[in-house]
Structure 1
Amino acid sequence: MKQIYLPETDIYLNLYKEYENTYEFEKDLSEIEFKRYREFVIKSAACEKQYFSCQINGEPYFLRFGLVRHSRSPEGYVVRGALVGENYDLHYKRTRYEDDFTANINNKVIKTKIINDRLMNLLIDKELISKEEAESIMKVTREEINTVKFDYSTF
């Protein structure tokens, strides 16, 4: 399997799909590696020029992070995402589907919130749970959120 090396973090990512100017990666990282990776992703996104030097199988590339995500694993964290080349950005044409994609996510999140609120109120009204129990159910920790894998193809 091809490897993507991020010299600023001293981390290797597994390259599992390669397209013209985009590279998809996945890797199980330890807690310490994940901390370095996360800080690098945040730092890269905050820079005016988001591109950074990396290597794919020893060959130098100048890329930026695309969509990235992570989830908890027994060993630490699983990170997945895409790296994007400058040529992709230079020749990229926005499609109408992108706006539909974002709108679908927003609509589904709002719909889910409305359904959850209705269900909670119904359970409270029927005295199946108390308000305190409903509040307890609605409290979700960051750790719980990080254990769920979000599948963008759902939308």
Structure 2
Amino acid sequence: MIVVIQRAAEASVKIDGKIKASIALGLMILIGIEEADGEEDISWLAKKILNLRIFPDENKVMNKSLIDVDGEILLISQFTLHASTKKGNRPSYIKAAKPDIAIPLYEQMVQTLAAGLGKPIGTGEFGADMKVSLVNDGPVTILIDSKNRA
């Protein structure tokens, strides 16, 4: 799994012109799921996301986690994170998981993050044409690949 984590002052996702979900202070996360991903990736990434110290403390040092600041999460599925651009100019998405694998893993990640945060999280809609808005706070953007955790 690959996630792009962006510290947000606010973020929202629209589908068919209607806001599906929005957050204030928190994390807007894009998640790409590949065929080889499983529960171990979800568990490791969720723990990392919830405890990542990227929010400022009273001295403006990034020393607080999402949990510490009682932040929110907006989680958006994005298969294009697994794009391969090695050959030619048209990306290949062969590593991205098919919906029958990706949807259950995405839903499990939603549940795992919500449980760890102690409140529901905002989501997009798997496979939908979404319009995502973000006020990136900092800006702070971090890329994490669960296959590079060793």
Give the TM-score band, short-chain normalised: under 0.3
Query: Quick check: which one's strand share is greater?
Result: 2
Larger Rg: 1
TM normalised by structure 2 equals: 0.26
Query: Quick check: which one's helix share is greater?
Result: 1
